[in-house]
Structure 1
Amino acid sequence: GRKGLGSIFVWASGNGGMFQDDCSCDGYVSSIHTLAIGSVTDEGMSTYYGEVCPSVMGVVFAGGSHSVGVTTDLHGGCTLKFQGTSSAAPLAAGCIALVLEANANLTWRDVQHLVVETSVIPSEKEDGWKVNAAGYHVNHRFGFGVLDCGRMVEAAENWIGIQEQLKCVVKSQGPTRYDAINQSL
């Protein structure tokens, strides 16, 4: 994808939080190649429906009682109440489109790093914020925080690409394992 720079996949983290769904169960959300995006209220608080997992990269304001998502509906009209992660993911994709317009040479990993570097904590009132070993704030509900498109574009304009992904392969010295249909792994 993108002449070797890699495709950028944006995926909604899910709206099943009211049923205790965990977005880790979604293979697309959990993929290293995916930017999993959640929703946050206009006050920067978590939504009752948002799914929680460590794969969430960030959130977008698309779920509050006062926020209004305007889009077309299935019947040729407009809707004023498009909320949730299904609304947040396309908003994040639009933000990433602006980033790629500012710097078309970004790799898929550069874009993920821009999300990490430029996202901000949406509300100090929410619990669960930790600082990881790399020194970044992170939360299972919000990922690295709310996407700040302006900051992302500014950072992209002067971005120096990150190093190529390091891959480590370890050869097992243990016994051969078998899967459920008895084929050697």
Structure 2
Amino acid sequence: QLLILHGYTARTIPKEYGGYGAEPDILKSRIIAEEFSRAGIPAGLANQGISMLVPTLLELGTEAQKRQWIEPTLNGEIVWCQGYSEPGAGSDLAALKTSARVENGDFVINGQKIWTSTAKQADMIFCLVRTEPDAPKHGGISYLIFSMDTPGIEVRPLKTMTGHAEFNETFFTDVRVPLDQIVGQRGQGWYVANATLGHE
């Protein structure tokens, strides 16, 4: 909170969404990042929610989504993970198979993600799913945001040789997500995902 108040983090996030409201300045941002590193400030201040999702919502989210998710993310009240990679798809995000059909006012998600960092600790996930199975592969994807406590989600840690488990497999079985928890329009997930990756 103090870092935001004095403009050391969330510098360019508008004040109405809980940020500092400064104009973009690459040099100042670089200096601050170097000083954070030197002081040993935790990397959590640049987590996926703050560094990737918040800029995406500012660019493409609805006003309701901005007001619901940005400030609690900046304040550390919500931790996010990213649901992009899938087994067998490699780095080809457009080859994803996790599906979401519409049923009784919800998306119903089935599938699997892999290399989901912080999935065990995360409160929320931003996730790519295939909502238009008959569309060209880049055009059938949608970008959903939903709680990791939603029934039907299972997280399995992937232990490395060191015994640590930074990454996880994440399984979705009939996970129900309200229709308004989509960023952008149905079938525009490829465009939204590229906007997110631009902030990685």
- Is this a same-fold pair by TM over 0.5? no
TM-score, normalised via structure 2 length: 0.24
Which has the larger share of strand? Answer: 2
TM-score, normalised via structure 1 length: 0.25
The structure with more radius of gyration: 1
